[in-house]
A and B are shown apart, each in its own frame.
Chain A
Amino acid sequence: MSDQRVTLTIDDVTVTVLAGTLIVDAAKQAGIHIPVFCYHPKMEPVGMCRMCLVEIGRPRRERATGAAVLGPDGQPLIDFNPKLETACTTPVGEGWVVRGLTEKPRAGRREVLEFLLTSHPLDCPVCDKGGECPLQNLTMAHGPGKSRFVYDEKMHLAKHVPLGELIVLDRERCIQCGRCVRFQDEIVGEPVIGFFERGRKLEIVSFSEPGFDSVFSGNTTDICPVGALTTTDFRFEARPWELHAAASICTHCPVGCNLTLNIRRQPNARGQILVQRVMPRQNEAVNEIWICDKGRFGHHFAASPERLNAPLVRQDGRLVEVGWDEALVHAADGLRRANGRIIGLGGGRAANEDLYQLRALVEGLGGRTALSEWMAGGALVQHFGAGSQFDFGRLGAGDAVLVLASDLQEEAPLWWLRIKQAADRGAAVYVAGVRPTRLEAHATHTLRYPAGEAVKTAVGLLHAVRGGEDLAGFRGDDSLRAVGTALKEARELVVLYGREALDAAGTEALARACAGLLTASGHAGRPGSGLIAVWPKANTQGAWEIGLRPQADGLAAALAGAAAALIVAADPAGDDPALAESIEKAGFVVVQELFLTETARRADVVFPAQAFTEREGSFTSGERRVQRFFPAVPPRPGTRPDWLILADLGERLGLSLVKSSASAVFDAMAAEIVAYAGLSYQALSWVEPQWPIVGGDDLYYGGTAYRNDQGLGAKLPALAERGTTVEVPWVAPAEPPSGGDVLLIPVDRLLDAGTTLRPTKELDPRRARAQAMLNAQDAAGWGVADGDEVEAAWDGRTARLAAVVSEAVPAGCVLIPRSVGVPLDAPAAGNLVAARERA
């Protein structure tokens, strides 16, 4: 689309838009409603529903010169097409006159609605969409009050057709607009649903096994213009007008998708106010109007009956419920007795305010803090991180994305989706990893390296970018050179690195190589480029900003050697049995948690914290965007937010931490933490109009995603943008672990079996299981068949797993999902045997 502008008249309003804009969008930009069902501003027009009919008049032109012919009044003569045209498929033209409110288009719209309603069940009183339904709203606005269709001749169709475990189709309500089909095909690139049959029998079916096999499936329910697609989570649960809305941020991954939590007092839950559903909240720079199914369905943990409701204190070896004062006094005594030999361990699940308070308390007591996640490189992300103008949505032809050591769809689905779309717009996408991932289908080039050679590959790219250096020591030097040249020549370059098949030192070395790469390619400090870490938690980057660091010399030793440990939003014992032993060795352990985790079970004092649905605070996303979340439901009685628990503890230890509000904590943090300098809680609530328009009166157009009235957040600039340079010497890659037959590699699964996702029962069928994925050759060599029980052994540990034979696993490697109870968090050399041999 060029910058050329076109002026036309729509419903007597003069509108000037970019040439190439569709009439329907030009109208929307001017605040004029042209009704649509099949059209969606994020997708290509198809002109199927015929609802957007308009009368179009074009200026009469001289055949020879092309000049407009003027009438007697000196105005251009306008010739109206006797046929109505579809506004959703017709780009604007200079001087056109578009009419949607004259008798002809009004009749056309009324008639199309009459057609649509002949087959519609009109079951609005029991339909989940009722109240936020484009068909209902547009019928009220444009439809006939009465149908001439004989009701008994209506086509009756199945009303409960599960397309998968999460999405149910009501075939009677479907108006065959194809938005869902096109979303999966065009936007996601996973065409797992489609049309089947023809004519009035046309229906949506799922082609995949399991059904609707896409982690973005829930979005189809937002853009479905009728109640045909509903989620099993919300179906028949509540009416939209009964719901209240609270702005929130997704806590499941570092993308930081903007959410709206819809809440309602639930009669069948003893009148509790509960989250009824999670909806996307528009933030075009973060998640646009989409969220993944983990974010949409993974909210049930907050309302779990397993939540802690009262402080626990260890008495006679057992944890017993006590009052807050008693617990605080007990905890404060224990911490005081440690005499500064305190470790404060924070996890990236916690909000900025919590982690800041943790640091203030622990350092105030003379102790030191540590970050629970071992993945490294956050300081480099601060320096080289995605710049102040960075937006995946702006990447296109001429730009490049490099993804290293991450299965992005499983770890950060919206980044995956937005990189896929950048590739569709022409951006070059380079994927480097040990095994095939779903991003490779959209990659310009894939670099496959053996496990343990991620850093070598990145350093090879760095050399290739610098040019002229010998690449002989690096695998696939020809393609390295080509990719290196492409990265160097890219207008904007974003590098994402993860931790797959890497240990802590490996991620540090990889981050350094990536930072060096950005520097060498000339992209360091560019506002639209930068480095992004695919962190395991939502606020890991925030923890780095605040100053928490992984324990390079080993968390186990640090915990075991501490006189007291204060653990916030982390479960080291659950992650790793070795850490469980260390916690038992630690002198005095205080844990702030939602659940009685393995770590909490070993604590001396446990404080019940509040869930993200119950409180406010801020997260810093992997792109370094600071975003606020808001209280949606009343807090569980007996719980407190982590930042307040820490302030309460501080009060009893003679330290004055901010206690008045999360907002005040944030402001204190902004005053002290350089990265947040100049920010205020209010500044995070800054909004501006976004395109496309969604929600409200426009939900027929953009869908039921919520408009963002609560804040688009603040994007932190990368330090490199200020012109400061740092030399990042790359470190030699570590050798892969050796000493066994195979390399056991933990991998991330989006639908994990962790504490926060297990309470969402709908996800059970697709949840990560205790499996060992291996390739066919290895399986044959070890006499293992698909489905066999196998035993993995490493570092003196063993785990029983079900074998899955997959061609997507490299030779000599066994992939084991994280979160399934196997204490393997970093690659380890080990052995695999068929369990029957042991028996």
Chain B
Amino acid sequence: MAERLLLRHRDIPGLEDLDVYLKHGGFKALRQAVTGMSPQQVIDEVKASGLRGRGGAGFPAGLKWSFLTPGVFPRYVVANADESEPGTFKDRELLESNPYQFLEGLAVCAYAAQAGTAYVYCRGEFWDLAEALEWHIGRLRLRGLLGERLFGTEFSLEIHVHLGAGAYICGEETALLDSLEGKLGQPRLRPPFPAAEGLYGKPTVINNVETLANLPPILSRGAAWYKTIGTEKSPGPKIFCLSGCVARPGNYELPLGTTFRELIFTHGGGIPEGRRIKAILPAGASSSILPASEAVLDTPMDYESVAAIGSALGSASVIVLDDTVDLAWAALKTTRFFKHESCGKCTPCREGTYWMLHIAERIHAGKGTREDVALLEAVARQIQGKCLCALGEFSTMPVVSAMEHFRADFEQHTAGGR
């Protein structure tokens, strides 16, 4: 077992205690950055590490920071802790059990962005975690690790926790910003991107919890070391959230580029009760469903390789479906989710998910015809390419891919030759 960099609490009991965290090298990276590096040097180091955003899009973190409009202040840093993707539960474990590494990463990011204020936007259901975070932040203040003139420098930082109201859309970074500003959580038009006009119209960096938790090890051990983990284009460790029809579901910290087969069969213990693997949702509900062919199972889980086989790594929420699962049912589940979570701002997503759900329900209830199956696919394709944000697009992916690989699952409900 390789050393864990993110889920360190599994090896170090009590890591959620600040003293324990400090004893194990905590806040050395922040001190090192603030006292010994310029913000630009931090950005350069993170760029050199090749760290890519762990929220789903996989955008290079250092590059994102370098887009901040120069000379415009104040700037803000926002941690996206609105972890809402079905089958994703990695940020939750980090926040619960290794919160200081995340907060240290957030502080490093704020220093690099020259932001004096950072926000943690927690999904509404994380109210207990939000309370705990407030407590942890209070501890940091008491220890002088947050607040005015950190480590005797000019750098000051405050971190505030904000609780969402339970909307999936607020994981989308611009909807998150609107929600944080007290508005209805709906995505903004882009451009302008948050790096130019983000929170309260000021340059803003938004990063996922896991992304930020990667920063302390990168700074303390160096970009070159970090790049030895994972693949060339997708370096570093990744927490894979394994769920569905597997013997040992859970979070697994593995290098990017680990194959589906290794995750599911070596770490996850395979499919229980001798059933066969049928399909994989590699990124929760938000990507195309992959048929579990040998070639798919041998695909390395990095951003490029999963894209190359027609899906996306996203937040690496691997949901395994076995041969007892009806893909029409699975598509119904994802559609219901997206219909429930559509923010309603743009027409195709608002109306299209509502329509798709009605057709999918009709089919699943055995009241549909083959024309309905074709219609479901047509409506999904009709949504594609028209939405304001990526979430509308996501809603179509499980449907269209399930239809492509498992059409019989849909048509079996229309038995009777209708």
Instruction: Tell me the A residues contacting B by CB distance below 8 Å.
Output: 45-51, 53, 83-84, 89, 108, 111-112, 114-116, 118-119, 148-150, 153, 155, 175-176, 194-202
Write the nearest CB–CB distance from A837 to chain B, whole angstroms: 47
Closest to A153 in B: B358
Does B348 touch A at the CB level, under 8 Å?
Answer: yes
Known contacts A115-B355, A115-B382; is A202 also within 8 Å of B347 by CB?
Answer: no
Main SS class of interface, A = loop
Q: Does B352 contact A (CB under 8 A)?
A: yes
Minimum CB distance partner of A116 in chain B: B347
Residue picked from B185, B342, B351, B355, most chain A C-beta under 10 Å: B351
Known: A112-B386, A200-B351, A200-B353. 5 other contacts (CB 8 A): A50-B346, A116-B347, A155-B354, A198-B343, A200-B344
Contact of B167 with A by CB under 8 A: yes
Known A111-B382, A115-B355: A199·B344 in contact at CB below 8 Å = yes
Would A199 and B353 count as touching, CB distance under 8 A? yes
Question: B388–A50 contact, CB under 8 A?
Answer: yes
Which of A47, A83, A149, A198 is close to B342, meaning CB atoms less than 8 Å apart? A198
A199 pairs with B355, CB closer than 8 A: no
Q: How far is the CB of B346 from chain A (nearest CB, A)?
A: 5
For the complex, what is the distance from the CA of A84 to the CA of B385, rounded to whole Å?
7
Q: Kindly state the separation between the CA atoms of A108 and B341 in the bound complex, as whole angstroms.
A: 24
A-B contact pairs, 29 of them (CB 8 A): A47-B346, A48-B346, A50-B348, A50-B388, A53-B386, A84-B385, A111-B386, A112-B347, A112-B348, A115-B350, A115-B382, A118-B354, A148-B378, A149-B355, A155-B354, A176-B347, A176-B350, A195-B344, A196-B184, A197-B344, A198-B185, A198-B342, A199-B339, A199-B354, A200-B353, A201-B344, A202-B343, A202-B344, A202-B350
Interface residues of B in 335-381 (CB under 8 A from A): 339-348, 350-355, 358, 362, 375, 378-379
- A48 and B342 in contact (CB under 8 A), knowing A53-B386, A118-B354? no
| Complex contacts, A49 vs chain B, CB 8 Å | 346-347
Bound state CA distance, A647 and B362, in angstroms?
A: 79
Can you name the residue of chain A whose Cβ is closest to the Cβ of B392?
A50
State the CA gap A89–B388 with chains docked (Å). 11
Whether A118 and B351, one on each chain, are in contact in the complex, defined by CB atoms closer than 8 angstroms, is yes
A148 contact set on B, CB distance < 8 A? 375, 378-379
Docked-complex contact A115 and B347, CB < 8 angstroms: yes
Within 8 Å CB of A45, what residues of B?
A: 189
Q: A115-B382, A199-B340, A199-B342 are in contact. Are A47 and B350 (CB under 8 A)?
A: no
Nearest neighbor of B361 in chain A, beta-carbon distance = A153
Within 8 A of A (CB), among B168-194: 169, 184-186, 189
Q: B186 — which chain A residues lie within 8 A by C-beta?
A: 195
Which residues on B sit within 8 Å (CB–CB) of A83?
A: 385
Checking B184, B345, B351, B354 against A48 with a beta-carbon cut-off of 8 angstroms, the contacting residue is B345
Chain A residues with CB below 8 A from B342, complex form: 198-200
Return the CB mask of B108-129 against A: 1 if under 8 Å, else 0. Answer: 0000000000000000000000
Q: Which of A50, A118, A150 contacts B387 (CB 8 A)?
A: A50
B347's partner among A153, A175, A196, A198 (CB-CB below 8 A) is A175
Residues of B within 8 A of A153 (CB): 355, 358
A200 adjacent to B350 (CB under 8 Å): yes
B169 and A198: CB pair below 8 A?
A: yes
Question: With the chains together, A201 CA to B342 CA distance in Å?
Answer: 10
A194 to B178, CA, bound (A): 14
Say whether A194 contacts B386, CB under 8 Å: no
**What's the A-B contact tally at a CB cutoff of 8 Å?**
94
- The interface bits of chain B over 54-68 (1 if a CB of A lies within 8 angstroms of the residue's CB, else 0) are 000000000000000
Chain B min CB distance to A306 (Å): 47
With a CB–CB cut-off of 8 A, which chain B residues contact A89? 189
Residue of B189, B341, B346, B347 with most chain A CB atoms under a 10 A cut-off: B347
Task: Please report whether the interface of chain B is mostly helix, strand, loop or mixed according to DSSP.
Answer: helix
Query: When chains A and B are docked, how far (Å) is the Cα of A155 from the Cα of B344?
Result: 14
Q: Which of B184, B339, B346, B378 contacts A200 (CB 8 A)?
A: B339
Partner of B341, one of A116, A150, A194, A199: A199
Collect the chain A residues with CB atoms within 8 Å of residue B379's CB. 148
Measured CB to CB, the closest approach of chain B to A340, in angstroms, equals 70
4 tightest CB-CB pairs across the interface, nearest first? A202-B344, A115-B351, A199-B342, A199-B344
* B27 CB → nearest A CB, Å: 40
> Which residues of A sit under 8 angstroms from B355, Cβ to Cβ?
115, 118, 149, 153
Chain B residues lying within 8 Å of A175, measured Cβ to Cβ, are: 347
Complex: chain A residue closest to B188, CB-CB? A46
Most chain B CB within 10 A, of A48, A89, A114, is at A48
How far is the CB of A50 from the nearest CB of chain B, in Å?
5
- CB neighbours (8 Å) of A202 from chain B are 343-345, 350
**Docked complex Cα distance between A108 and B342 (Å):** 20
CA distance A111 to B341 in the complex (A): 22
Taking the nearest CB of chain B, how far is it from the CB of A287, in angstroms?
A: 29
Most buried by B among A111, A116, A155, A196: A111
Cβ–Cβ < 8 Å partners of A48 in chain B: 345-347, 388
Residue of B353, B355, B388 most packed against chain A (CB within 10 A)? B355
Q: In the complex, which residue of chain B has the Cβ closest to the Cβ of A89?
A: B189
Report chain A residues within 8 Å CB of B353.
199-200
* Complexed CA–CA distance, A112 and B352 (Å): 9
- A112: nearest chain-B partner, CB-CB: B347
Residues of B within 8 A of A119 (CB): 351, 354
Taking CB atoms, residues of chain B closer than 8 Å to A84 are 385-386
Docked-complex contact A194 and B184, CB < 8 angstroms: yes
Determine which of A108, A111, A200 lies in contact with B354 in the assembled complex, contact meaning CB atoms within 8 Å.
Answer: A200
Cα-based distance from A118 to B350 in the complex (angstroms):
11
Q: Look across to chain A and name the residue whose beta carbon is closest to the beta carbon of B378.
A: A148
Q: Is the CB of A195 within 8 A of B184?
A: yes
Nearest CB of A to B363, in Å: 12
Given that A50-B387, A198-B169 are known contacts, is A115 also in contact with B352, CB under 8 Å in the complex? yes
The answer on a CB contact under 8 Å between A114 and B388 is no
Whether B343 pairs with A199 at a CB distance below 8 angstroms is: yes
- B residues less than 8 Å from A194 (CB atoms): 184
Q: How far is the CB of B64 from chain A (nearest CB, A)?
A: 22
Closest to B372 in A: A150
* Contact residues of B between 38 and 75, Cβ < 8 Å to A: none
Residues of B within 8 A of A108 (CB): 386
Asked whether B347 lies within 8 Å of A47 as measured between CB atoms, the reply is: no
CA separation between A153 and B379, bound complex, in Å?
A: 15
B295 to chain A, nearest CB (A): 27
A154 smallest CB distance to B (angstroms): 10
| CA A118 to CA B362, docked complex, whole Å | 17
In the assembled complex, the CB of B418 is this many whole angstroms from the nearest CB of chain A, namely 15
- Cβ–Cβ < 8 Å partners of A198 in chain B: 167, 169, 184-185, 341-344
- Give min CB distance, B186 to chain A, whole Å: 8
Choose among A116, A196, A197, A199 the residue with the greatest number of B CB atoms under 10 Å from its CB: A199
Q: Which residues of A contact B362 (CB under 8 A)?
A: 150
Q: Roughly how many angstroms separate A507 CA and B386 CA in the complex, as a whole number? A: 60
What's the Cα separation between A155 and B350 when bound, in Å?
Answer: 12
The chain A residue sitting closest to B341, CB to CB, is: A199
Bound-state Cα–Cα, A430 to B142, Å: 46
A47 (CB) vs chain B CBs: closest residue: B189
Question: Nearest residue in A to B189 (C-beta to C-beta)?
Answer: A47
Output the least CB separation between A144 and chain B (Å). Answer: 11
Smallest distance from the beta carbon of B359 to chain A beta carbons, Å? 8
A657 to B222, CA, bound (A): 98
Residue of A nearest to B184 (CB): A195
Q: How far does the Cβ of A552 sit from chain B's closest Cβ, in whole Å?
A: 53
Please give the distance in Å from B376's CB to the nearest CB on chain A: 11
Once bound together, how far apart are the Cα atoms of A196 and B169, in whole Å?
A: 15
Q: Which residues does chain B contribute within 8 Å of A51, judged by CB atoms?
A: 347
Select from chain A the residue with minimum beta-carbon distance to B351: A115
Closest Cβ–Cβ distance, residue B56 to chain A (whole Å): 20
Chain B nearest CB, measured from A694 CB (Å): 24
Instruction: Tell me the smallest distance from the CB of B197 to a CB of chain A, in Å.
Output: 13
Closest to A196 in B: B184
Check B382–A46 contact: CB distance below 8 A.
Answer: no
CB distance from A37 to the nearest CB of B (A): 8
Contact check, A47 vs B385: say whether CB atoms are below 8 A apart: no
